[in-house]
Amino acid sequence: MSLDSKPISSDKKPLYEASTQFINWRYSVEQLARIRASLNEAAVSAIRHTFESDEPGSSSNVLFLNSVEEQLLVKLYITKITQLCALFRFPEEVEATAVTYLKRFYLKNTVMDWHPKNVMLTALFLATKTTNNPISLETYTTHIPKTVASDILDLEFLVAQSLGFEFAVWHAHRALWGIWLDIQNLPDNSSSVSPDIYDSALKHVRASRLTDAELIYTPSQIAFAAMALAAPELASAWSHLKIAPKDSELLFPSFQDLTDAIKALIISDGQPPNIESVREVDRRLRLCKNPEKVPGTKAYLAKKAEEEKKAEGRRNKKAAISQQAMTDGDPFGNDLSKAQSALVDYDDDDDDD
């Protein structure tokens, strides 16, 4: 399915451009840096506040993570997805989707609030379902050490919300497969295309998953860059066939720049992170993670108590409303204005299950 490799001269909008990925999940390099920096900043100040209200002065010695360090940790857990997918023998689609989910999650959250270990496990489990490769949660957790069902289920809504419930992902490896099918049909080199070329290009696509490429470029752009790394001449022959001559003059300089940028990104960022430096980050994370999210701590208990208090308040209010309805109301229901206010009580909707 070479969805992305449609000739650009077509006047219909490509299907990809109607996707949630195209509309909601593309960024510039600068935007990515800005989003991550501001998430990091907000988390640091909130956690610092929690520390201080627990014990004044206690945050001054804490060395919080910066956004680059956060990314390093996320990258490590991307490599864990690959390992788990090999263990379960999941198809490539599952792996690629889980990696995308993990990256998108950390464009809405920080590792100081949510440790990537559990988020990764939940993202992968969710990806098995969204790609139509479901396995039971029991099978899943029994094959992963020190993991129970609630580790996954507790975060499933949070992950799904962070993804905006947009589960469909367009992948570079699919685009590469399309390009590869096309290349085998190129005139002049029918017999000479070695399957090694595809394998080599696929390795580059896989390396690109460790980078921000998919948040910046389209799947077909990444796939083309991977093919250009593996077999520059074939890639260029293919692109000349795909891009009509009249467009090529207009497009080629920027097309070349784009491809070069992706190639450079894959080469520079496409390796697993250095384990020692990640270990250091993780060690520090233990000291600076949000105590409100760590069961048992004072801050956690305080937050739970506060939530419970709020919920009780709502329950009391609701009880009072129904009490009033019994005493002063028409037995067939209150007047409309009162009924309306009860309808906007959002806790209501969960009482009927």
Partner 1 sequence: MDAVEKANTERQQRWVKDQKVGEGTYAVVYRGREASTGRKVAIKKIKVGQFKDGLDMSAIREVKYLRELRHQNVIELLDVFSSKTNLNLVLEFLESELEVIIKDRNLVFLPADIKSWMAMMFRGLEFCHRNFVLHRDLKPNNLLIASDGQLKIADFGLARDFADPGYKMTCQVITRWYRPPELLYGSRYYSSAVDIWSVGCIFAELMLRIPYLPGESDMDQLKTIFRALGTPTEDDWPGHTKLPDYVPVGSFPKTPLRDLFTAASADALNLLNKCFIYEPRKRISARDALHHPYFFALPYPTHPSKLPKCTTQLSARPLEEMDGNVQMNSTGPGVKANNNRLKRKLSSPLDEGKGRSIARRLDFTKISPGT
Q: Residue length, the chain?
A: 353
Which helix (H) or strand (E) is 44 found in, with range? helix 29-54
Nearby residues of 63 by Cβ (< 8 Å), 6 or more positions away: 284, 287, 288
State which of positions 195-224 bind partner 1 (CB under 8 A). 195, 198-199, 202
How many of the chain's residues bind partner 1 (CB under 8 A)? Answer: 55
Which helix (H) or strand (E) is 236 found in, with range? helix 232-242
x/- mask, partner 1, residues 155-184, rule CB under 8 A, reads -xxx-xxx--xxxx----x---x--x----
Listed residue (318, 319, 323, 308) closest to 341, CA to CA: 318
Does 137 help bind partner 1 (rule: CB under 8 A)?
A: yes
Least separation in angstroms between residue 57's CB and partner 1 is 27
Task: Choose, by CB under 8 A, the member of 11, 276, 328, 353 that binds partner 1.
Answer: 353
Does 57 help bind partner 1 (rule: CB under 8 A)?
A: no
With contact defined as beta carbons under 8 Å apart, do 164 and 24 qualify?
yes
Task: Choose, by CB under 8 A, the member of 136, 190, 192, 327 that binds partner 1.
Answer: 136
d(CA 23, CA 3): 17
State which of positions 77-116 bind partner 1 (CB under 8 A). 88-92, 94, 108-109, 113
d(CA 278, CA 210): 15
Task: Choose, by CB under 8 A, the member of 8, 33, 135, 186 that binds partner 1.
Answer: 135
Listed residue (129, 132, 104, 121) closest to 155, CA to CA: 121
Interface residues with partner 1 (CB under 8 A)?
1, 3, 15, 18-20, 42, 88-92, 94, 108-109, 113, 125-126, 129-130, 132-138, 149, 152-153, 156-158, 160-162, 165-168, 173, 177, 180, 195, 198-199, 202, 343-344, 346, 348-350, 352-353
